[in-house]
Every structure is written in structure tokens, then in C-alpha cells.
Structure 1
Amino acid sequence: MKVNKIVSASLALMLGWGGTAFAQDEVDALRYTRYGLTGSARIQGIGGAQTALGADVSTIASNPAGLGMFRRSEFSITPGLGFSTSTGRVGGISTNDERNNVGVPHIGIVFADRQSNEDSDWRSATFGLSFTRLNNFNNRTSYRNTAGGQDPTIVEYFTELANLRGRTETDLDNEFDNGFTTMEGLAYGTFLFDFDEDGFAIPTYREGEINQAEEIIRRGSQNQIDIAGGTSYRDKIYLGASLGVISSDFRQERIFRETEASTNSDFTSLELRDEFRTRGTGVNLKLGVIVRPSDVIRLGATIQTPTLYNFNETYQRSMYSQFLPGETYNAAELPGEFSYKLTTPFRASGGAAFFLQKYGFISADIEYVNYANMRYSEDDDFSGNSSYFNSINDRISSTYQSALNFRIGAEGRYEVFRFRAGYAITGDPYRNADFDGKINTFTLGTGIRLNKYYADVAFTSSTANSLYSPYNFNDPSVFVPVVDIEDKLNTVMLTFGYNF
């Protein structure tokens, strides 16, 4: 198995225990750039295919040109319940984890001003404000593994870090006395390795099988507030623009453990704990158009500028070890803080909707985004050319590629009732990986439409696969555990709407 590809293309779980506590890497850039399914229950019930649809509150965030189709003002709110399941498989052992959360993925209000004079070319001026959840980060993943007696483990990984970086015993003694700042320093401080007479780092002696276990707990969300306006030209061409302000809050805690039962060595166990929290805000601009050449078909397109983010990150790591006959050692880094910027790629979408008279419609979208264009920069620089981030930006360019996201859905109508189904594919962002990076989403929905009120319910089910390795040696042929992870997210949401 090509472990170097696995580590560089891990979906969202790469530990990055390379000696820095910072979490800015290619995995984190993708986390804030790749969005889930968004919108009201009606829109999510049709797989999110709404670029050409218009006249839904969700259009504020997707294609603001759809605001020009409103004839009445409208308010809607969409509470939802998410059920996430993560299955980690390694060495024939499967571990399942579940996490549920309640939220409000969408709220929107539209103020429509329809011209009474139908002879006017410009027939509406509509303003909208919406709140949209772009990503739900709540998830828990764990796995268990047994390493054979001859297999190197994370202790050998720490030792290799010290040797590759030319760390000396004097150097690490100084870090021990003045505060830990590196991963190999934490391992040295908890007596997981020492130095031989030639100054070469060697791991503490262990014997027999090593049991490994890890928990990765993530919390938070990514949300966008949009302020938008739209208009209608002769009810044939609809134009709109929106300003989006994104807020992101992501927290992650990782706990890695190794234990040994043999009494022939003093080593008993170790625990590595890594915690960080990243909060940030970003801003983007979206322009959209919908063309209605006839009552049967609508064509839509949008472009969105790159999102410019400012992030602030706090982090801390600690390590614990235990040896016979009951000796324990602890080491911890001082809490740290770091600020940086991230620029996400330009996005473009196109769509078409076909209306089957009063019986419903079919809608389809395609979206383009080039993930290789994500760029980090220092806090006072948006150029992406700072020396600190050069190597990370190079890895982004070599790891990711452009991708196409597809969404298709349909709605059937019978009197006041609506029935919906949809399917979405979030394209594979990885240039070269040993797994399929697509995310597949199936959706179902139904609803009822009255004169002033409406209600919709939707169910969505997304599945994503990834491979993950907790550490990686300089020699890619050295064995490391590889975890096959399947993440599922099922969501139920209910939209209540009022026309006024």
C-alpha cells in the first residue's frame, strides 16, 4: 500500500504530528473550502440543485438572481437534527462511533417590492438576508490496532524525528529545562527515547505486541450570512448579487495511546494528547443570472470570488508515559496562539431547470472549483508567498486538483402537496490518492403549500471514505497502521415558511 499517498490525501484526519503544533496544512485548507449540502428543506430535498430554480429563500446564498422571481415577501426557518457515524477499520478490527447534534442550518427573510406597472422593463427590486450552515464539523472517529513485536510504532517515529532533525542530548536537555516546544522534546521528556554513546537517538526497549488506540473528536461548524439583492428584467432575465460573511469555529482533540503487557520490559504505556481550536471569518462576493426563455426552461449561472479568511488558532499538546514498577512521567507544551490567512478558490456554477407544467420540475447543477488554488499566507500578507507557508502551499498544489460537483433533483406536485428526491456528488479533490475522494449524497423530501404558509421536511444521507495513518516514517516502505474510515452523515430537517 502506498502510505505516502494515504497520508497526503487523508480526507480530514491527518494528524500532522511532525513536530509543530500548528494545524495549518493542506487538510485544514480543504476543510474550510469543501462545503456540504446547504439550503432549506425544500432545496436539500432535491439534492441542492437550485442554480436555475429561483424563488426560494435559499437562493440568497446560492444564486441571488433568484430573488427577482419573488412576488411576495417571505420568511423561513429550518431546524435540523444530524446523526453522524464513523467506522474505522484496521487489521480486521472495526470500531464504530456515533454523534448526534441539533442545529438550525438555514434561516432567511426576503423583502419583495413588485412593480404594479407591468409595462416597466424592470419589474422588481428584492432584498434578502440569510443564515446558512456550510459545514457541520461534529464527528468522532476511533480505531484499535495491534502492532507486531517487530513493527515500529509511534515511539520509533519520535526517535526518527530527533535523528532527522539532528537533535542532540544537550539540545533536548535544554528544551526539558526551559519548556517543551517540539514533539520529539515531549517524547524525550517522558523517557520514550534516549541517546547512545555516538549521540544517536534510540527508542526505549519494548517487547511483544503493542496495542494501539486513538480517538479523534471534532466539534464546530462553518456558517455564512448573506446580504443580497435581485431584480427582474421583463420577467425573462433575473440578476442578483450577494455579499457573504463566513464564520468558522473548529475544535479538535486527538488522543493516541500505546500499551504493552510484557513484564520483560519496563515500558507499560504512553498517551499523546493534541488539542487545538481554530476560529475565523471570511468574506466573498457572488454574482448570478437566471434566464427564462420560456415557461418550460430556466438557465442559471453564478460566480463567486475567492473567500478571504482571517484565522486565529490556539493549541496545546501533552504526553504521558508509564514504566514498571509504577513510574509515571508527564510533559506538556505551553499553550500557543497563531494567526494566519487563507484564500480559497474561485467558484462557478451553472444549472438548468425544466418545468412540467403544473406537475413539477427537474433541476440540475454543475459546479467548478480548483482546490489546488487554495493558499495560506501570514497575517499581514494575502499573496501566499510568505516563507513560512511556501512548503504548505506547494503541497496543496501537488495534492489537490480541480473538481466538478454535480447535483440533480426533482419535485412532483399534487394539489397542495410536494414530493421530492435528489442526488449530489461532491467531486474528488485529490490529484493522486489510494481511495475515491467523492462524497455521495442521497436526498428525499416532501412538503405542503398553502396560501400564506408552507412546511417542508427533508432527509439527506452522505457517505465519504478515506484512509488514515497516525504517523509516517521517512522510508515509505516501513510498515505503519492504515485505517480505512467510512463517515456517514444523516440529517433530518424541517422548514416552516410564511408569506407576507
Structure 2
Amino acid sequence: MKRIACLFVSAFFLAGGIAYAQGEMNAYTMSQTDLNGTARYLGMSGAFGALGGDISSMSTNPAGLGIYRSSEVVTTISLSSIKANTNWNGSKADESKTKFNFDNIAYVGYFPTGNDEGIVGWNIGLSYNRVKSFNRSYRMNGAQPFSVADYAADMAHGTPEKDLTLVSGKFDPYFDADNYWLSVLGYEAGFFKPNTSGGDAYHSAFGAPGAAYSPQNVDLLVNEKGSIGQYNISFATNISDRFFLGATVAITDMDYNLTTKYQEDFTVKDLLWLDNGLSTDGTGYAFNIGAIVRPVDFLRVGIAYNSPTWYKMTDYFHGSAQVVIDDVEGKVKETPDYQAGEYRLRTPDRWIFSVAGVGQNFLISADYELTNYKRMNLSDVDGYDMIQTEGIKSDFGMSGTLKVGAEYKVTPQFSVRAGTLWRTSPMKQHVKDGIAAINPKTGEYYINAVDVAGTIPNYTVDKGMNSYSVGVGYRFTPSFYADLACVYREYKEDAYAFPSTFNPDGSVVVKSDPASLKTKTTQVALTLGYKF
């Protein structure tokens, strides 16, 4: 969230590319994980915290490795269909993608001690697991009263006109002043003009001051792709078949790419367009620890702590824009090629509480995950918090995820499974409502709804997710088995073309209307495993 300009000090001038490198919503996107793992894990919606006996435990509760009584190799592939539907003030649009994925491969080694009491056995696990997929496309098409030109003009308020102009070899407004990047690109491209020559108040170039045109047709196309992959090394032990303890060290690799194409048509002779690209690469590390207790044969209770992932990130931005006014094309303006920066992202940590009942031919289990997204943090390479971290603390809170799963053995070889998952949004109510929050330090309202990245004004607000799973498993021999699962997920969001802006008293200056966005994913996963 952009705060009052005086919060910037000279130390940020040399790091301007970093200061606006990531927004709070981007940090949230890169801090999430999907329901992903083996087909058995998916078929029970991931409710394995107290069950174990599955390689997916390495990414959640590694004590689950202690349940193994043999060694195993396993791999999973999947096919996903992703459909995104938007409704923007009554105007609907659909986009879809289909993606084939290699989800995981793992080895678990079991080393018995020969003891019946005390330490019965040791387990070691090595795995790769794709914990997040970013693949999605969505489109917003419709109309709203305000333009991105109004937004960029209002965000430039208080900045002298001379500080918005790139002067080759002398002055770079992206790095040499406390500027919001889209205001610089928008001014260069002609989105807005000063009310008076040399002043620091601005109005949309489409219309007169106080009487700006409303765009008659707005179109935004967003394409996301990439993934987060996790490499795990896990250790677990079995104590008297009653206590199971485990730990995982994880190395994480992130690859995220975003492209957006945005256009507003005002009249037959007037329009603007804005294209953006963002590429983010990151590597990080984390650890998980957990325990499972079996007080009686039919009951298991689990608890696990998943640490934050500490990422080192690099961003690459590129933005370009142009206007057409009275059928006259302005020059295409682009951001400089050097707008890239290194920074640090710390994701939130997570607690997982689990319980499971195990019978002769069936089992049922439940997990509850608690994640405090307020603990996300963005900092520079020297460890100093970026200004966006203030927005994270203001706009995010707790998220809860409930997973419930069941399995029934129809025959000793054939099993059927089902599960469901519900996840709540960590966004605070003012973010969900698209209104301003109060700055606790000043008692005034922040001037815009959320913080966005670089010259990319669009963002989404999480409204919650649920999923439903079914699966089957068949053991062909005592050693070889196959599992199949189908998962249906529905992720609800509000999508904004740009943030709303506000006066210090909370009154609206520029209002951005959200589109209702639903992302529906159908995933079919196949796991092949061999025990020895």
C-alpha cells in the first residue's frame, strides 16, 4: 500500500527499483501453496497430518514417514483444466487453459533396528514436489466510471511535473524521486496532464479537469504461468509404535511469469492501452517438524510446524503504454530495461493439527491448518523492511484450512477415497470491501486500497477456496500399486483493474469496481509406486 511520501528516506532513492518491486498482493500470491501430492493424498484432500505413510507427508507433517514399514519409490503425473469466469458489472468473460504436470518423485528408505521397544526404526525421505502452480488466464471486459488515467493522475498528486519526466543522463523519475511507477509511465505516455503548467495536481487527459470521460469499454487480459517446486530431505523415527517424530529440510525454487494487456476505449477517437510483464525468480529454504501419537490402536493425533520459507527473489519488469486522443496517436512509452531488483520475501509459518481414526478396512481423518499471513515480510538485500510490509500488516490476518478425508478398502487390493477442503481468506474486511484502512500512526486513511507492483495496477482479492476429491487405488502385487484421483477446486476472488484511491478523511477520489472472478480447476492425477 502506498503510504505518505515522507516515509521514504534517501536510502530508498538508490533502491527505487526495489521499493516498488513487489506489492503486498504479489507477496501473498507467492506465499500460497496448492493441494498437491500423490493421488492418494489428493483423493483424501490432503488430510494426512495424523495418518502418514505417504511421501506427501514430507511437505506437511514429516513424522508421517515414521509410519512406513518398507522402502518405497513413487512418482505422480497429472492433467489440469483451469477455467476462469468473470462478471464485471454484468459483463461476463471466460478464459481456459489445460496443463500437463509432473508433480512429484520420491524415495523413502526404511531401516529397522530390530527392537520391539524404544526406537523401532528409522526412515529417510528424498522428494521433489510441485507445491504451487500459477498457470491461469482470465479476462475482464466491461465498463466503469473511472479510468486508470484518473488513478495514475491521483497517485501523482503532490509530485512536481518536472519530477515525472525522464531526462536522459540527468534525471530518472523511476529511481531519483519518490514516484509511483505507473504515474511516471502514465505521464510520459500522456494518460494525464497538470491542472496548471508546472503544478503538482493532475487530471485525466480524456476530458477537462473535474469532467473526465468514463471509459465506454474496458478490456483486461491476464496470463500467469510458472510454479513453485520443493526439494525435501526428511528424517523420521518410530518409538515403540506409539510415537513418531520427523523433520524436513526443504529447498524451494520459484518461477513466476505475468503478462497483462489493458485497454480503455472512451470514444471513437480516444483510447489508451497499457501492457505489462513481470518475471520473478526465487530460491528459498524452510524446515518442517512434526509428531504423531497413537495412544490406542484406532486413534492417531498429529501436530506439525511448517516454518516460513525465506526467499531470495529477483524481479524483471517491463511496461509500455500509449494514448490516442482525437485520432492522434501519441508516442509509445516504455519503462527502462534496468528496472529489476533483488529483495527478500519471508512467507508466513503454518501450524497443522490433525486427528485420524483407523479401522480394519477404513480410515477417516481431519486436518486443521492455521496460517498468519500478517507475518509475511518484504525486505531489501540488507534486511531492512520495505514499505510494502506495512501494508501487509494492515491488510492481512489469519487463514484457516480444514481438510477431511476417508478411505475404504473394498477388497484387500482395491480402495476408494473421498475428501473435501475449505480455506478461508486472510484478507481483512476493508480489503474485501475495497475501502481504505486507517493508518494507526496518524489516524488518517491510507490514500489507496492496496499496494501494487511496478507499473502493474491490476490485482485480485482472495474470497476463499473449496475443493472436493475422489480417488481409487489398486495394489497389483504386494510391491506394485497405482492410485488415481480427481480433484475439483473453486477459488473465488474479486479482480480489480486498479486500486481505488481516497482522501485522508476516507472519502473516495477514484473508485474502482471489482469483477467477480471464479477459477475452477479439475485435476486428474496418477501415482505409480513400488515398495521393497
TM-score, length of structure 1 as denominator length:
0.88
Distance across 2 between alignment mates of 1:65 and 1:413 = 24
Structure 1 residue matching 2:37: 3-state secondary structure: coil
1:401 to 388, 392, 397: 397
Structure 2 match to 1:228: 234
Structure 2 match to 1:414: 410
2:341 to 338, 342, 346: 338
Distance across 2 between alignment mates of 1:30 and 1:436 = 10
Distance across 2 between alignment mates of 1:197 and 1:242 = 62
Q: Is the 8 A contact 2:39 2:527 kept in 1?
A: yes
What amino acid is aligned across from residue 109 of structure 2 in structure 1? F
What amino acid is aligned across from residue 90 of structure 1 in structure 2? W
Structure 1 residue matching 2:296: 3-state secondary structure: coil
Q: Is the 8 A contact 1:458 1:492 kept in 2?
A: yes
Deviation (angstroms), 1:152: 3.1
Matches within 5 A, 1:34-113: 34-113=32-111
Deviation (angstroms), 1:428: 2.1
Structure 2 match to 1:319: 321
What amino acid is aligned across from residue 312 of structure 1 in structure 2? T
Task: For structure 1, list consecutive stretches of 5 or more residues without a partner in the other structure.
Answer: 5-17
1:457 to 484, 490, 496: 484
Percent identity for Structure 1 against Structure 2: 27
Distance 1:300 1:196, change over 3 A: closer
Q: Is the 8 A contact 1:281 1:311 kept in 2?
A: yes
Instruction: Check if 1:211 corresponds to 2:217.
Output: yes
Structure 1 match to 2:118: 121
Deviation (angstroms), 1:296: 0.9
2:522 to 479, 482, 490: 490
Distance 1:158 1:227, change over 3 A: same
Distance 1:127 1:280, change over 3 A: same
Structure 2 match to 1:7: none
Distance across 2 between alignment mates of 1:176 and 1:146 = 38
Distance across 2 between alignment mates of 1:64 and 1:165 = 54
Distance 1:19 1:480, change over 3 A: farther
> For 1:330-353, what per-residue CA distance to the aligned partner results, in whole angstroms no more than 9, with x for missing partners?
000112111111122222112111
What amino acid is aligned across from residue 454 of structure 1 in structure 2? Y
Name which of structure 1's ranges 104-113 and 208-217 shifts more when overlaid on structure 2: 208-217
Deviation (angstroms), 1:260: 3.3
Distance across 2 between alignment mates of 1:19 and 1:320 = 22
Distance across 2 between alignment mates of 1:19 and 1:212 = 29
Structure 1 match to 2:9: none
Distance 1:324 1:418, change over 3 A: same
Q: Is the 8 A contact 2:294 2:300 kept in 1?
A: yes
Distance across 1 between alignment mates of 2:272 and 2:215 = 14
Distance across 1 between alignment mates of 2:418 and 2:136 = 26
> For 1:21-68, what per-residue CA distance to the aligned partner results, in whole angstroms no more than 9, with x for missing partners?
944222122122222112200011001000111112222222221222
Q: Is the 8 A contact 1:313 1:338 kept in 2?
A: yes
What amino acid is aligned across from residue 474 of structure 1 in structure 2? F
Q: Is the 8 A contact 2:215 2:264 kept in 1?
A: no
Distance across 2 between alignment mates of 1:166 and 1:19 = 18
Distance 1:176 1:83, change over 3 A: farther
Deviation (angstroms), 1:289: 1.2
Structure 1 match to 2:183: 184
Distance 1:35 1:89, change over 3 A: same
2:253 to 244, 247, 252: 247
1:156 to 128, 145, 150: 150
What amino acid is aligned across from residue 445 of structure 1 in structure 2? G
Distance 1:160 1:105, change over 3 A: same
Distance across 1 between alignment mates of 2:166 and 2:293 = 69
Deviation (angstroms), 1:73: 0.9
Distance across 1 between alignment mates of 2:203 and 2:302 = 63
Distance across 2 between alignment mates of 1:64 and 1:205 = 59
Structure 1 residue matching 2:502: 3-state secondary structure: coil
What amino acid is aligned across from residue 337 of structure 1 in structure 2? A
Distance 1:153 1:73, change over 3 A: same
Task: For structure 2, list consecutive stretches of 5 or more residues without a partner in the other structure.
Answer: 3-15, 175-180, 208-212, 434-460
Q: Is the 8 A contact 1:61 1:130 kept in 2?
A: no
Structure 1 match to 2:473: 447
Instruction: Check if 1:427 corresponds to 2:424.
Output: yes
Structure 2 residue matching 1:293: 3-state secondary structure: strand
Matches within 5 A, 1:267-306: 267-306=269-308
Structure 1 residue matching 2:463: 3-state secondary structure: coil
Q: CA RMSD in A?
A: 2.4
Deviation (angstroms), 1:187: 2.4
Deviation (angstroms), 1:315: 0.7
Structure 1 residue matching 2:473: 3-state secondary structure: strand
Structure 1 residue matching 2:305: 3-state secondary structure: strand
Q: Is the 8 A contact 1:408 1:423 kept in 2?
A: yes
Q: Is the 8 A contact 1:410 1:420 kept in 2?
A: yes
Structure 1 match to 2:351: 348
Deviation (angstroms), 1:138: 0.4
Deviation (angstroms), 1:228: 0.6
Structure 1 match to 2:26: 28
1:137 to 130, 134, 138: 134
Q: Is the 8 A contact 1:41 1:78 kept in 2?
A: yes
Distance across 1 between alignment mates of 2:307 and 2:206 = 55
Deviation (angstroms), 1:176: 7.9
Instruction: Check if 1:467 corresponds to 2:494.
Output: yes
